[in-house]
Structure 1
C-alpha cells in the first residue's frame, strides 16, 4: 500500500490543476473525462459505464438530469449504441443490481442536496449494496467530509476512488480507499506537491491507499 502522507488537493487546487492540464498540459476536457472514468462524475460515471460494459458487466445508468453539453450527449450516444439502459426508477434499479458506482456529484459539490438526489442518497445509505464512490461520496463536502445532517448524514460507501490525488475529505473516509489517475506530467506534480511517481509501481494504474481508520 502507498504512504498515508500523500498530499491532498483542495477544491481550489483541484480546479486549478484541471485548468493547467487543459492549458500547458495539452489535455482536452474529453481526455480528462476519459481518464477519470476509466479509473472509476457526472460524465465520469458515463465513461465508467462504457468501460464496465466492455469489461463484461451489465451497467444501468441513473441519469435523471441530463446535461445539454455536447460531451454529455456524445457519451450518452456511446452508451445507447452499446445497448446500456438508462433509468429514472432508481428504486427498481437498486433491487436489480449488486454494485453501485456513486458518481452523482463531483468534488465541487456544495450546499444542500436537492430532489431527486436526496431520495437517491437516502436509498443508497439504507441499502446493503457495495458502493464505490468516485472522488467524493455524494453529499460530502470536499474539505469537511460527511454532512452532519440531511440525507447524506451517515453515508459511508464501501470504497472511494480518488482521482489524480486524494481530496481533504478522504481523512473522514473509513472504507477502502483507492487512487487512480496516473497521467500527470512531472512539472504539475511538483507544482501541486504531489509525489505520485512514488505511489505507483510497475504498470499499475490504480493503487490502494491505507484506510484512515488504520
Structure 2
C-alpha cells in the first residue's frame, strides 16, 4: 500500500476537489462515516449503552469529528461534543456539519479550558473521538490541547483518532509533548509516514485506511513509497516444480566469522539453508573450522587462510574459483585490516549477486565507489550505527531520517539498502522505498541480523531478483520473529530461535495461498 507524506496528501485532496470535482463535503462525510464504522466494528460493547465524547478542532479534522458525532448521536446513550475554539471561527464544510448537528438538536459546546465538568465527562466516557489536530500538525501540544490529551489518555475509554493521533507529527512520527494514545486511528485514503515511524507508531493503535473517494490510482507513478504486504511476498517466493535437485535451487557462499564470532557465521549459513538454498558453503578462518564443522552439519565449510583469527585478503581469490549463485560477506568478519581488505577484494573481483552485512558494511568506509556501476546491485543490510559510520552521522541522526537517508544512499551508490530498525526500510537504486510491516522488539538481540543476511542471500541464489529478495527476506524475517515471540515472548526470543520459525513463516504464506 502506498504511503504518503502530509504534503502529498494535501495535493491529492486538492486534485480530487478541484480537478475531479468531488466536493469537500462528500470527502468529509465519507471520512466521518468511516471513523464511525470503525468504532462500531471495533468497540467491544453495545454502543447504545455507551457514553461518547467527541473533541473537535476548528479545521477539517474537526469537521470529520462533527460528522462522527452526528452518526454516534443516533446510537449512544449519552453524547458530549466539544469544539476547541469558537463556532464563529468555523467555515466551509466544518461549519456546515456544525449547523447540521445543531439542527438535529445535538449541543456543540465551545471550550477554551478544561474545567471539572469537562474532565469528568472525558474520564467517564466509554468512547472518545479525537479530532483535535489533523495531519498538518507540527510542534508541541500546549495549553488546553495538552490538558485535553492528558484527560483522554487518563480515561479508560476506547479512543479513536481521526487521521492521526493528536500530538503526533504525521510526517516524521515525532512527538514533542503530549499525544493521544489511540486504540484505533482511521486515516483517510492512504496511510501517512508518521503512522510507521517511531514514536508515532506507538500512539497509532490499530491503523484503518478509509476509502473516502480519493482515487487510489493517483499514487501510481507519483508516489515512490509503499508498505511490504503479505501478497507481495507470496508472489515473490520461488516456485518448485518437483524435478529440482540441490544444485538447481541455489548455491550460496557465506564469508563470515572470526575468532570470538563463530555464532554469526553459523546463524547466517543455517538461515540460508532454512530459506531454501540447495547448497550453502561457509568460508571461515582455518583455525575456526573444527568449531564450525560441529555447529553446522548441513553446511559445507571452507577453511581459508587467515591473519590473526580473521580471513585474509588472499583467501578471496581462491574462493572465487567456485561456482556460486549468491555470496554474503560480513557477519562476524571482524574489523581488522585483513578483513577490510578482503571485502574490497571481493567487490573488485566478483560482480554477481551479493549481500554485504555488519563488518562488511563497516569496511566500505572510504570505498563506496566499489559499489557503483554493478549490473546486479549489491544489497547492504546495515543498522543505523553501521550506516552512520559510512556517512559520518550518529545513529540517532540516521534513525530520525531513516526513510530519506535510505533512498538517498541507494540512489547515489546504486545499491539496495536494507536499513534495519523500527521500521526496517528498503531503498532501491530507482528511488523507491519499501517499509516493512512485520517484526517486534524481540528482534533487538544479537545475531538476528545475521539470520536476515542468510535469508536474503538464499533467495538471491534461488533466482529471485535483488529488490524482491530484500523485500521477501525482510518480511519473512519479521514474520518469523512475530511467530516466535507469540510462543516464546519478545523477552526470550533469541536469534537461534528464528531458524526454527522460518519454516513456519513460509508455511503461513504458502498454506494461505493453497486454502484461498
Instruction: Give, in angstroms, the shift of residue 39 of structure 1.
Output: 1.1
For residues 221 and 80 of structure 2, the distance between their equivalents in structure 1, rounded to whole angstroms, comes to 39
For residues 84 and 162 of structure 1, the distance between their equivalents in structure 2, rounded to whole angstroms, comes to 25
Q: Which residues in structure 2 correspond to 1:180-195 (within 5 Å)?
A: 180-185=210-215, 187-193=217-223
Instruction: Give, in angstroms, the shift of residue 90 of structure 1.
Output: 2.9
Deviations 1:152-177 (A, max 9, x none): 3xx42111111111011111424211
For residues 92 and 172 of structure 2, the distance between their equivalents in structure 1, rounded to whole angstroms, comes to 33
Going from structure 1 to structure 2, the CA distance change for 1:212 and 1:124 (only over 3 Å counts) comes to: farther
1:25–1:185 Cα contact (<8 Å) kept:
no
Q: How many aligned residue pairs are there?
A: 193
Query: Is 2:186 the partner of 1:161?
Result: yes
Instruction: Give, in angstroms, the shift of residue 53 of structure 1.
Output: 2.1
Deviations 1:32-81 (A, max 9, x none): 21121111111110011112223x22432110213331433321121112
1:90–1:120 Cα contact (<8 Å) kept:
no
Query: Is 2:10 the partner of 1:15?
Result: yes
For residues 221 and 82 of structure 2, the distance between their equivalents in structure 1, rounded to whole angstroms, comes to 37
Correspondence for 1:52: 72
Q: 90, 98, 105: which one pairs with 1:83?
A: 105
Structure with greater Cα Rg = 2
Q: Higher relative contact order at CA 8 Å, sep ≥6: structure 1 or structure 2? A: 1
Where does structure 1 lack aligned partners over 5 or more consecutive residues?
A: 1-5, 199-209
TM-score (norm 2): 0.35
Correspondence for 1:119: 147
1:176–1:211 Cα contact (<8 Å) kept:
no
Q: Which residues in structure 2 correspond to 1:9-158 (within 5 Å)?
A: 9-40=4-35, 41-54=61-74, 56-57=75-76, 58-66=78-86, 67-87=89-109, 88=111, 89-147=117-175, 149-152=176-179, 155-158=180-183
Higher mean displacement: 45-54 or 83-92? 83-92
Where does structure 2 lack aligned partners over 5 or more consecutive residues?
A: 36-60, 112-116, 230-436, 441-481, 483-516
2:13–2:214 Cα contact (<8 Å) kept:
no
Correspondence for 2:455: none
For residues 95 and 125 of structure 2, the distance between their equivalents in structure 1, rounded to whole angstroms, comes to 25
Going from structure 1 to structure 2, the CA distance change for 1:211 and 1:47 (only over 3 Å counts) comes to: farther
**Structure 2 counterpart SS, 1:111:** coil
Q: CA RMSD in A?
A: 2.6
TM-score (norm 1): 0.79
Going from structure 1 to structure 2, the CA distance change for 1:15 and 1:98 (only over 3 Å counts) comes to: same
2:184–2:208 Cα contact (<8 Å) kept:
yes
For residues 134 and 22 of structure 2, the distance between their equivalents in structure 1, rounded to whole angstroms, comes to 19
